Structure 1
Amino acid sequence: MSVTILKEKCRGCKLCLKACPFDAIYMDNGKAVINSEKCTNCGACESSCKFGAILVEREQKEEVKDLSAYKGVWVYAEQRQGKLMFTSLELLGEGRKLADKLGVELSAVLLGHEVDDICQELIHYGADKVIYANHKLLQNYTTDGYTKVIADLINEKKSEIVIIGATNIGRDLAPRVAARLNTGLTADCTKLDIDEEQRILLQTRPAFGGNLMATIVTPNHRPQMSTVRPGVMKKMEKDESRTGVVEKVDVNLHDEDLRVKVEEIVKSAKQTVNLVEAQYIVSGGRGLGGPEGFKLMQELADALGGVVGSSRAAVDAGWISHDHQVGQTGKTVRPRVYIACGISGAIQHLAGMQNSDCIIAINKNPDAPIFSVADYGIVGDLYKVVPMLIEEVKKLKEQK
């Protein structure tokens, strides 16, 4: 798309200069001129010109797909070395709700090599069908291999909705599949719903630094694709009485399809914290005053049988590693109990923990925003309050 100014028609009225929101038009010898580096082809100048001197050439719209041919909700069942990722179970729970609203089948898409035992687990957690691609070249995740297989399956079976976890692998896989299928992708969603009248997936995610929530739709392309942050959705209870279908599919994948070969998987020797699955989280923020405060957080977390979390401010200060961070740029969690110590409650942090079952906030400032989402608020010095909590927790454990 491009913008052309017809010199013979331009009267030099400067209306287009006023209309341009990007300051992309200037005058030269009494005629308007487009600054192509600033112009975004928005078309505001064309509608402002009263003399027909501006033409915006628009690309022809591509042919709209037959959307009625696409049916079903798919969840990518991520597994690593034969172990199903917890995020996949969360997505199955959400996928079950979406499929029920649409009145369609929920399928789990499983790629790997000799991971047959996972199939029944996926059915027990809500899948009606498991589409199982078993191949030696799928034993370890590769971008090329997994993208090709999933894109081929979608082209063949035409799923309506595809949901992928926003894990390290999911963030790599989803955009590549979407690009290959020429469809849209909404990343890092925190809420999914269905417009049942139009059969459109409503994909909600934080925008502008978490200051507002944007709901995005994909009206003219299929499948509708989303990645979902781990810890946001709630998994279904396991039902071993559920039955389903395991469909083993042929895989058209060869060595020459892969540009990268995995020779060996070396796990990090550093122990990382599992915030997503934790039932008790004790988080510290800037109010701790320094890195030594996290020793107290660890003591309370150990007493509860939980883990230590952190706000971004504490991570940025170098007091604790990033794998402890809770919030929009960290992990999204929903534990049974979340204890926020010395955390003011910026909206970016609240976005990562506000769905916890019970939130306890400890802060000196009675006006701290964290209290607006807390179930229980304690106004006081955390270095006095937390030791008292530790003592009480230990007493309760001794009584049991």
Structure 2
Amino acid sequence: MARRQKQVEEEIPHSFFVRPQEKLLIDVIPELSGTRVICTSAGRAQFAVAYAQDKPDATVDCWFLDVFHKSQTEFRVSEEGQVPPNLKFHCQPDLPEQEADLVAFAFKKGGEAELTRDLMQQGYLRLVEGGRMVVSTDNDEDQWIHRELRELFPKVTRRPIRKQGTVYLATKVGPLKKVRDFDCEFAFRDRGRLIYAYSRPGVFSHRHIDPGARALINTMQVKPGMKFLDLGCGAGTVSLASAFSAEGVKVHAVDSNARAIQSLERGIARNEAPGITVVLDAEGASPESDTFDLALANPPYFSNYAIADLFLDTAHRALKPRAKVLIVTKTPNWFVERMPLWYADVEVTEANDYWIVTGRKRKEQIVDPDEPRRPRERY
């Protein structure tokens, strides 16, 4: 067994970082035997690659919620060599639908609880009777995942590994008594209209309208026929409010999260909202250049402003000359310093516990030779 494990470890790519929970999954490959495999990744699909290489008769489907992570993984794996022919990458709202003999999850400490519950339930439903689930976390004191797994399986094997994390193994013995629904519909009011939105675990501001989105909605000035760009649309509350704010408004909403796109599409159908286009897009490539009257964004706080940088660049290309971008944030200083490279008339106004930073598109972007563009890598 030790010799087989060493062989598996030698076959995995080592030129990029293997996260602890991913490594824990790789370490148990010699104990696993499923031929129809569904898995997630905490990094760049190192477990999926290793399993596919070790068991060429198996089919391995590796799932990503974010299309950026999927595309980066495909690039990194292809850089290392040929992608195993029995390995496929997916970016979609839910795990692949097919039956599985093995489901493998790699979760990070402090991850989103509802998303973890949702995925483990989905994994259980896809397992055939007698199929196995293996779950890893980078928390060697974890008890929470153990409790959640015991809601699904009558018996769970727990293996804490000091300073690395914990591995769980369990076998499906029968159907679930009750399938939980983690999706949510919530309502908010704008300009006297009640608007309904959907959200799912893994979508920003699940179950309620985000206060930052509310600040954008309250700040934007809308005229009939305007064309809006909603960058990082999430569940789509800003897009939905924009669509109803004046006659003839058109909205182009983009997000890299497959569930966010699905949530907004459901919201459009629920409200019969006019004029909204929704695109899964991690690179800002989908909006047409020089066509939008207003760009709106609520950039995430992780990634060391790389995503905010991408939003500003995308908005600059997409906006008409002199058109405005509105950014909502709790940390305005970075935007005040950075935005003049793209925008003139940069201003900051307070909006409850947030700040709205606005700017007008310059004719040309100013290039700062002393500050190279931030990489797109998110983590």
The TM-score normalised by the length of structure 1 is 0.28
The TM-score normalised by the length of structure 2 is 0.30
Select the structure that is richer in strand: 2
Q: Work out which of the two has the higher radius of gyration on C-alpha atoms and give 1 or 2.
A: 1
